[in-house]
Structure 1
Amino acid sequence: MTPTRRAVLVSSLAGLGGCLGSADEVSVECPVPVDADGAARLGFVGDVMLGRNVDERWRDDPTGVWDGMADRLDALDGLFLNLECCVSARGDPRPGRTFHFRAHPSWAVPALDSAGTVFASLANNHVLDFGPRALTDTLTHLEDAGVPTAGAGPDRASAFEPAHLAVGGLDVAVVAVTDQSPSYAARADAAGAAYAPLRPSDRLTRHWVGGALARARERDPDLLVVSLHWGPNWETAPSETQQSFARWLVDRGADVVHGHSAHVIQGVETYRGRPIVYDAGDFVDDYLVKDGLHNDRSFLFELVVTDGTLSALELVPVEITNSRVTPADDVAARWLRDRMRSLSAPFGTSVERDGAGLRIPLGDC
């Protein structure tokens, strides 16, 4: 996708003062406006599952899975998502698992490209559904398509390696980790996901996640994103442990915390001027809809970076119908607005009406 917006973001990671943290924290700067020729707009969504019925339906029409969202996606500088399936035609279903998700590369790769995908997190509990051969295929197909990934690899070190990409005039680093399915964890000599308990007090977490953050900061990125596949399904609020871990990440340099896994939206917190999306919900899949939870409804979260400042998070209501994502109708959009206001209220988040969606101002440390 050709970038439609460009901006220069002053790095929040250089030790130049601003908001102060404790001695073991990275100094997190208040954003400093600089001259720029526009704004960058980066999209963040939750789980994208292109297997099973989605795979069967859209093999002959890769762009159809995005339905009426195509123009909105095309207006982004790039889309960040959690890819909750393998992209492969090989491998055998993992024994002992209830669900196995795999999409054929012939259509899944063009579909991801047509959505403007610039990053796919593979740190999740489906990356090994068809074994290490399918994981290898997934990595190869996405690399060949120019889609950076993080969160899985042929061994533990590579799974925890940050991704680096250029999007919308920004140098972006992404760390992707999960606390789901320990049996899928990459090991020193075995393929898998970047697994850690995701508790600030855990030694493994401090070593592997803290190390990944440090390596991401070495290249002095304009924006550091942490993508988290975490927590139990169907929970509408993050646990205290999740909240403390998300803030721990920001204290160590994260500019955006991008959560997913619960299959339902959770609230948004702004901490030290940075957005914490505790769970972005599901963006496209074929899952059954749980009564009262509306896991078929979520948002496209658009991070706006204007004149070097993280200025806003704009929430565009969407819903899943017939294995595709579409703009939410009036009823669904109203439900989503009310739900997000309610879920974000405990964090004191300022949530404003913005057309059919919502807007969360950012930038105040």
Structure 2
Amino acid sequence: MPYTLGFTGDVMLGRSVSERQRTRAADAVWDGALSRLRALDALCINLECALSTRGRPWRRTHRPFHFRADPEWAVPALTAAGVDWATLANNHLLDFEEPALCDTLGALSAVDIAHSGAGRDERAAWAPVTVPVGDLTVAFVSATDNTPEYAAGPDSPGVARTELDDPTERGKLARAVDDTLATDPDLLVASLHWGPNMTTEVFDSHREVGHWLLERGVDVVHGHSAHVFKAVEVAEEGLLMYDCGDFLDDYAVDDVLRNDRSFLFELTVSEDGTPQELRLVPVEIRNCAVHLADGEVAKWCREAMRQRSRDFGTEFAREGASLVVGC
């Protein structure tokens, strides 16, 4: 029996998103996408904010933005969508310092949402996590190359941070992958928050890191950070989603790059965990909620993804509003 895993880019539930939730149901942030999300066998996101009402904005270095959401509504929203796993290795988990990060860990654990990429110390931040999906065991490792001041220390909370571009600095990520492979998971996902904002280019260094991970035994690379989606590459060793863009937030919209448009990435795997097909379902953020896209918006998403993936030899078929590629 095949299983379908959904992957998204950034999910940021703070600021205006949180303000709007004062007057609407928790699951309103998913709008018409809710039934599609709940139909998945597993849902995997990048959680781009802390879940807490504690802490103070990070002041130790300059930070232009600080993101957090009240767990009283945010946690029910995540559970309503059926979120099974969240990566926390990004540049916002410490926006309200250590108390808010620790609250986030506790809030997710309390409702059995698995998470990786942040912890109460360096060892916990780099620890992989496994998620049962039917009869499958899906394992996740997380890392970021953003915000060095947010890195977990031997005795301090933070995120799994390393210089991904530097081969000599990948030891922690390599050990996390090797330790996870030793548990013999059916599917291994590496989730990476990497690179600068608002660029559609896949950097040569990211392609090198991605293929290095696949050759090491990773099956799927789940990229995010740029706020816009990037190419999909189907390699012999596995699948690379270089950046899944933004899925839910209140960010200002670039009229050219359209960071309010992306996809729900639906990966179908066989009963032994082998990736079979990737379906890209167009979505659009409006009024601090995610909507399934159609018409001209969906067409724009399809054409942009085809263009961005062309140099990687990825050829998509169209099925309704969506794009589909075999793995």
Deviation sequence 1:293-338 (CA, Å, 0-9, x none): 0000000000001343311000000000000000113111000100
Q: How big is the shift at 1:71? A: 1.1
Show the 5 A alignment for 1:194-273.
194-199=160-165, 201-205=166-170, 207-273=171-237
Question: 2:142 corresponds to which letter in structure 1?
Answer: A
Question: 1:320 corresponds to which letter in structure 2?
Answer: I
Show the 5 A alignment for 1:1-365.
38-59=1-22, 60-95=24-59, 96-199=62-165, 201-205=166-170, 207-308=171-272, 309-362=274-327
Count of residue pairs the alignment pairs up: 323
Question: 1:316 corresponds to which letter in structure 2?
Answer: V
Looking at structure 1, the residues matched to 191 and 209 of structure 2 have their Cα atoms a distance apart, in angstroms, of 12
Q: How big is the shift at 1:97? A: 1.1
Looking at structure 2, the residues matched to 355 and 151 of structure 1 have their Cα atoms a distance apart, in angstroms, of 36
Q: Cα RMSD over matched residues?
A: 1.0
Could you say what secondary structure the match of 2:199 adopts?
Answer: coil
Tell me if structure 2 keeps the 8 A contact 1:82–1:120.
Answer: yes
Looking at structure 2, the residues matched to 152 and 226 of structure 1 have their Cα atoms a distance apart, in angstroms, of 14
Could you say what secondary structure the match of 1:259 adopts?
Answer: strand
Tell me if structure 2 keeps the 8 A contact 1:78–1:168.
Answer: no
Could you say what secondary structure the match of 2:202 adopts?
Answer: coil
Could you say what secondary structure the match of 2:210 adopts?
Answer: helix
Could you say what secondary structure the match of 2:264 adopts?
Answer: strand
Could you say what secondary structure the match of 1:272 adopts?
Answer: coil
* Greater fraction helix: 2
Tell me if structure 2 keeps the 8 A contact 1:41–1:168.
Answer: no
Tell me if structure 1 keeps the 8 A contact 2:214–2:237.
Answer: no
% identity of equivalent residues: 50
Q: What TM-score, normalized to structure 2?
A: 0.97
Could you say what secondary structure the match of 1:176 adopts?
Answer: strand
Could you say what secondary structure the match of 1:180 adopts?
Answer: coil
Deviation sequence 1:123-166 (CA, Å, 0-9, x none): 00000000000000000000001001000111111111001110
Question: 2:85 corresponds to which letter in structure 1?
Answer: F
Looking at structure 2, the residues matched to 300 and 137 of structure 1 have their Cα atoms a distance apart, in angstroms, of 28
Looking at structure 1, the residues matched to 53 and 276 of structure 2 have their Cα atoms a distance apart, in angstroms, of 42
Q: How big is the shift at 1:272? A: 1.6
Looking at structure 1, the residues matched to 250 and 271 of structure 2 have their Cα atoms a distance apart, in angstroms, of 40
- Bigger drift between 94-103 and 57-66 goes to 57-66
Deviation sequence 1:239-264 (CA, Å, 0-9, x none): 00000000000001111100000000
Unmatched runs of 5 consecutive residues or more in structure 2? none
Q: CA distance change for structure 1 residues 251 and 310 in 2, over 3 Å: closer, same or farther?
A: same
Question: 1:99 corresponds to which letter in structure 2?
Answer: F
Looking at structure 1, the residues matched to 153 and 236 of structure 2 have their Cα atoms a distance apart, in angstroms, of 34
Looking at structure 1, the residues matched to 31 and 199 of structure 2 have their Cα atoms a distance apart, in angstroms, of 28
Could you say what secondary structure the match of 1:139 adopts?
Answer: helix
Deviation sequence 1:25-69 (CA, Å, 0-9, x none): xxxxxxxxxxxxx21000000000000000111244110000000
- Bigger drift between 258-267 and 152-161 goes to 152-161
Unmatched runs of 5 consecutive residues or more in structure 1? 1-37
